[in-house]
Structure 1
Amino acid sequence: MHGAGHLLEVFFLLLAAQFMGWLFRRFNQPAVIGEVLAGVLVGPALLGLAHEGEILEFMAELGAIFLLFMVGLETRLRDILAVGREAFLVAVLGVAFPFVGGYFFGLAIGFDQLPSLFLGTALVATSVGITARVLQELGVLSRAYSRIILGAAVIDDVLGLIVLAVVNGVAQSGTLELGTALRITLLSVVFVGSAVLLVPLVRRIPFHALPVGSPFGFALLVGIGLASLAATIGLAPIVGAFLAGMLLAEVREELHLEEPVQAIESFLAPIFFAMVGVRLELSALASASILLYGSMVLLIALLGKLLGGFLGALSQGFRRAVVVGVGMAPRGEVGLIVAALGLAAGAVNEEEYALVLFMVVGTTLLAPLFLRPSITWAERAPEPKASQEPLDEARG
């Protein structure tokens, strides 16, 4: 397709995403749902005005990167560390419950062991971009429950990657590849740990003396650089982008970073969410068995994360623990990647892939619908003192 064709696709995606996002906000619903449905509207499933392709896929990935970079800019490390125990528990339980549930459900409906393992693995990873957009819209990113969700999402991604490495190794070689899992674990811990250790040093950097056009230019280098490094070692690029934002959060006011980053994010993030809808194949979800079994997998996916998040964050109080559980529920591209790897390896068939597709679409649309009212409900309860202190320090 020539350049004009690509520009038209971007135009139609943005037009639909902006209008649908505005429409959903008018009805007091998360704009992200409208943006996803905008992709369905202009995508191959309906109007056929936008299609999957390298350029749109790359722009969508940049959208996810800048969304999490922006979220990272609004999140200070000390706030994440203040809820570190809860974030770790939420991540571990939120990986264990869906994986076990998906695996045993697969066996119960007649899947072989390997497809059941892939089904469990596809239920593991949270798509934090969807939750982050809702938290951002509602202005609650500074709340303790938001910090738990964001911290857990980073740990969740590392754990999910380890599970995927092990299961994919079994599919490829028929044996358990512990060496691969250990290598990925070590690289992931070193990557995340190094970013955390660099936070105290950020304020010592002479930004205005750096050989770059502007502090914002340097911020872009850090954001894209850490996203690229994360992708190189096998982590999701959004993990690197979030950590980059968290590094620069220490100097965001002095360097005036929020406004320019938000300008780029407001352009690219809707494309990311709209592309979720563009990828949707309505025909794959049409059969009665897919609707039945897909609904059951969707229920397992929602309950697994809800239960894991709730139990892990119970120290924050009942209502906020519910918010954490709901916030961890959306799945996204990681689930589809897992299913696609299984399909390529011959470990799953088209029907089993469609179950994962149904689950991803369902959690993407349902979780934001439940997240907004659950946050409103939680905000009516007083904030626990333990979670207020870091926030008060940040304001001071």
Structure 2
Amino acid sequence: MDMRTLTASEPMTDAIAWLTSFNPSHFHSDNIIPLLAAATESDSAPFVLASVLLSLVVIYLASTIGGELCARMNLPPVLGQLLGGLVVGISAFHLLVFPEGGGDSTTSLMMTFLQNTAGLSLDSAAAIFQTDSEVISTLAEMGVVILLFEIGLESDLKELLRVGPQAAIVAMVGVIAPFVGGTLGLIYLFGVPTIPAIFAGAALTATSIGITAKVLAELQYLNRKEGQIIIGAAVLDDVLGIIILAVVASLAKTGEVELTNVLYLIASAVAFLVGAVLLGRLFNPYFVKLVDELKTRGQLLIPALIFAFVLSYIATAIKLEAILGAFTAGLVLAETQKCRELKDQVVPIADMLVPIFFVVVSAKTNIGVLNPAVPENREGLIMASFLILVAILGKVISGFTVFGQSDINRLAIGVGMIPRGEVGLVFAGIGSASGILSGSLDAAIIVMVILTTFLAPPLLQVVFQKSATAENLPQPEAAALSMQDSQNS
């Protein structure tokens, strides 16, 4: 046999060797199932992409139509985005539903549409639904991170530090007043046990910085004294809310408060905020120099996003909120000479991601708990009426604690602290998951969150327009209007 024959025979030799080494155990079900699962997962990948794309189409349509209708009615567009989320979400058309809102693949019209048009099997629908929900929820979280980064860029660090004492008092009163009023009222008026009452009272302390900041930006009041006090107080509220949530969650689990966790959160929050601002000032010249040296596309935007995401990660890693890191990054970069150029580049990204956040927050909210025709809702609605009153008054009172400012709209500051938004829903979700809240109290918290979230944008517009009208009046008329306001209050 010549060399050519030997070479040709090698594949046959390899085949014989493989057959002689054949082991039937290789084809045991334990080995086959992972392979089949991997194949199924691979087959499902196009459906995941299709589902996410359809979800984004629904979100952008709801956001655009709702925002445009509200803008034409001279209402804040963010209110339209929230209303659009209600329409497409679990409360109405079920186009955009999430497990957290009580939806599943059988109630999602999106999954039904994919089954009818793209050939999605019924067996795969549940997995696709879960993945789609996770992706869209993550994009929504990215949206609020970008929003707070943009708000940080719009803010003036010097002004924030100047109004810091006023913002701190507003935040403290805005936390203490609703917490004490809500907790004691639930215990003594409704006979709610102490720990559930504390949990519900804690849910009243939150302020949705995302919703308030968006409305202030739309009304062009973000850089006014009122806007800066509201933003500063809302940031402190967010920190205080994290600490309170840790306290009540510990109380719910063990019946006692772990003091070390509370002290850790307070110390880490202070260290993060102060450290990030101080180090940021040292970092700014190097950031500008780096940007000037880069020649590739996105030479300003990409380093800025890296900085924002690093601070967001650090905030998350030390058990704070990612949005706190993003806001701090924006504050730091707002001090650079690249600020205006950076803001112009961030706006398109915010336009793409921020509507996802507002539509998703609203889509997860089931307003069915507002239906008094359902007997199970009535007790919750009565408690909700009390919680709403405390939630609004507790924050409005905080605005009137601002000192040393004679020409400031204190009512607007209080109203700006009203919306609970996604922060209140987090409290409700944790309380419900822990089993500490009764069905009626859980529903009452959700109703309070819904109404405070939807009431705040139009109320803010009204109080700021009233202020603007007074400023535009001749001096005697403005003084008369101011005197009339003080007498009414």
Q: Same fold (TM over 0.5)?
A: yes
Q: Which residue number corresponds to residue 392 of structure 1?
A: none
Q: Secondary structure at the match of 1:297?
A: helix
Stretches of 4+ aligned residues off by more than 4 angstroms: 210-213, 380-383
Q: How does 1:193-272 map to 2 (within 5 A)?
A: 193-205=274-286, 206-208=289-291, 209=293, 214-251=299-336, 253=338, 256-272=341-357
* 1:146 aligned to which of 227, 236, 240: 227
Of 104-113 and 317-326, the range deviating more from structure 2: 317-326
TM-superposed deviation, 1:190 = 0.7
Structure 2 segments unaligned to the other structure (5+ residues): 1-46, 99-132, 372-376, 473-489
Q: Secondary structure at the match of 1:145?
A: helix
* 2:149 aligned to which of 69, 72, 77: 69
- TM-score, normalised to structure 1, is 0.92
Q: Distance in 1 between matches of 2:348 and 2:389?
A: 37
The Cα offsets for residues 189-244 of structure 1, whole Å up to 9 and x where unpaired, read as 11111122134324321222469851211101111222222222222221111111
Q: Distance in 2 between matches of 1:252 and 1:134?
A: 27
Q: Secondary structure at the match of 2:334?
A: helix
- Check if 1:49 corresponds to 2:95: yes
Structure 1 segments unaligned to the other structure (5+ residues): 384-396
The Cα offsets for residues 316-340 of structure 1, whole Å up to 9 and x where unpaired, read as 3475111110001110222222222
- Check if 1:40 corresponds to 2:86: yes
Q: Which residue number corresponds to residue 20 of structure 2?
A: none
* 2:61 aligned to which of 11, 15, 19: 15
* 1:106 aligned to which of 151, 171, 186: 186
Q: Which residue number corresponds to residue 271 of structure 2?
A: 190
- TM-score, normalised to structure 2, is 0.75
Higher relative contact order (CA 8 A, sep 6+): 1
* 1:320 aligned to which of 409, 416, 421: 409
* 1:173 aligned to which of 245, 254, 279: 254
Q: Distance in 2 between matches of 1:72 and 1:302?
A: 26
Letter in 1 for 2:157: L
- Check if 1:29 corresponds to 2:112: no
> Cα distance 1:255–1:319, how it changes in 2: closer, same or farther (>3 A)?
closer
Q: Distance in 2 between matches of 1:373 and 1:190?
A: 38
Q: Distance in 2 between matches of 1:376 and 1:47?
A: 35
Give the root-mean-square deviation of aligned CA atoms: 1.9
**Rg (Cα) greater in structure:** 2
Q: Distance in 1 between matches of 2:56 and 2:456?
A: 27
CA contact (8 A) 1:65 1:237 kept: yes
CA contact (8 A) 1:215 1:255 kept: no
Letter in 2 for 1:203: N
CA contact (8 A) 2:153 2:339 kept: no
Q: Which residue number corresponds to residue 203 of structure 2?
A: 122
- Check if 1:307 corresponds to 2:397: yes
Q: Distance in 2 between matches of 1:229 and 1:199?
A: 14
Letter in 2 for 1:341: I
> Cα distance 1:254–1:88, how it changes in 2: closer, same or farther (>3 A)?
closer
> Cα distance 1:210–1:171, how it changes in 2: closer, same or farther (>3 A)?
farther
Q: Distance in 2 between matches of 1:11 and 1:252?
A: 37
